Amino acid sequence: MRMTQPTHPQPAINYPCCPVFMLIMPASASLSCTCRLLIDKGVNVDAQDANGHTALHIAALLNHGHVVPMLLHGHEDTSLVDNRGKTAEQLALDKQSEDVTKQFSVLRM
C-alpha cells in the first residue's frame, strides 16, 4: 500500500523563508499562537518586506484583528509606512478592516 503525504492549507500570502518574513507569514495566515511564540523568541516585529509591509500591515490588510494586539505588545512601530506611504492603521481604514481599526482605537485610549 502506498502512503501519500497529507496536504496542508497554504497561508494567505506566500513568502520565502527568511528572517524578514518570519513574523509576516504567520500574521498573514492568522496564526496568533505562532506570532506570540516568535515575538517571545525575539523576532524583529518591525521587519519589512519588499513592499514595505510589516506583520502589522499584513494583519491590517487581511483584517486579522486578533493578531494586532500581540504585534503591538511586541512593540511594533505603528508609524512605519509601506512603499506607498501608508501606515498599518491607514491600510486598515482603507480596507474597512473593522476588527483592526477597533484595536487601534483601543491603543489610543
Q: Residue 13 has what pLDDT? A: 46
- Give the helix ranges, DSSP H, for 54-97: 55-61, 68-73, 88-95
Q: Is residue 9, in this structure, part of any structural domain at all? A: no
Structural domain containing residue 94 = 19-108
Q: Is residue 52, in this structure, part of any structural domain at all? A: yes
Q: Is residue 50, in this structure, part of any structural domain at all? A: yes
Q: Residue 86 has what pLDDT? A: 96
Inter-residue contact 58 to 67 (CB < 8 Å): no
Q: Residue 87 has what pLDDT? A: 95
Inter-residue contact 81 to 56 (CB < 8 Å): no
Residue type, 55: A
Q: Is residue 64, in this structure, part of any structural domain at all? A: yes
Tens digit of pLDDT for each residue in 51-106? 999 888 988 888 888 888 888 876 778 899 999 999 999 999 999 988 888 888 88
Q: Residue 12 has what pLDDT? A: 44
Q: Is residue 5, in this structure, part of any structural domain at all? A: no
CATH assignment at residue 101: 1.25.40.20
Q: Residue 106 has what pLDDT? A: 81
Tens digit of pLDDT for each residue in 29-63? 666 778 788 888 888 888 888 899 988 898 888 88
Q: Rounded to whole angstroms, how far apart are CA atoms 46 and 65?
A: 18
Q: Is residue 78, in this structure, part of any structural domain at all? A: yes
Q: Is residue 44, in this structure, part of any structural domain at all? A: yes
Q: Is residue 93, in this structure, part of any structural domain at all? A: yes
Tally of domains in the chain: 1
Tens digit of pLDDT for each residue in 2-24? 555 545 444 444 444 555 566 77
68: left (phi over 0), alpha (psi -120 to 50) or beta: alpha
C-alpha cell at 27: 500574521
Quick one: DSSP state of residue 49?
-
